[in-house]
Amino acid sequence: MIGKKVIIRADRAGVFYGVLKEKNGSEVTLTDCRRLWCWYGAASISQLAVEGTKRPNDCKFTLVVPIISILGVIEIIPCTDEAIKSIEEVAVWKNR
């Protein structure tokens, strides 16, 4: 899955979306990464990775971080083209 857009779940850090750059045990490095804080229109991150969100205006996805290392990754799910389009169209959620 290296080089693919994925959703990952970390044991204590939450859920992230980005390009899988490296994996070493339970540590991954993602590029062009967003934290998926809250999502609606998908029952789980599995559905989100396959179908995307049906309610993008209700989602809370952070701004893009160029590169991040995440420890304690317990799940890596590749995203479909449909999901990628949906996730990337969600507006940036941040404190203004």
Residue 96 has pLDDT above 90, yes or no: no
Indicate the number of domains in the chain.
Answer: 1
Indicate yes or no: pTM above 0.85. Answer: yes
In a domain, residue 79? The reply is yes
In angstroms, the Cα distances linking 29 to 5, 70, 72, 85 are 12, 6, 12, 22
Q: How far apart are CA 31 and CA 68, in angstroms?
A: 6
Residue 39 domain flag: yes
What is the Cα–Cα distance from 54 to 61, expressed in whole angstroms? 14
Structural domain includes residue 46:
yes
pLDDT in tens, 5-57: 999 999 999 999 999 999 999 999 999 999 999 999 999 999 999 999 999 99
CATH (domain of 70): 2.30.30.100
| Residue among 52, 63, 45, 59 nearest 90 (CA) | 59
Q: Which domain holds residue 17?
A: 5-88
Residue 45's closest CA among 79, 1, 13? 79
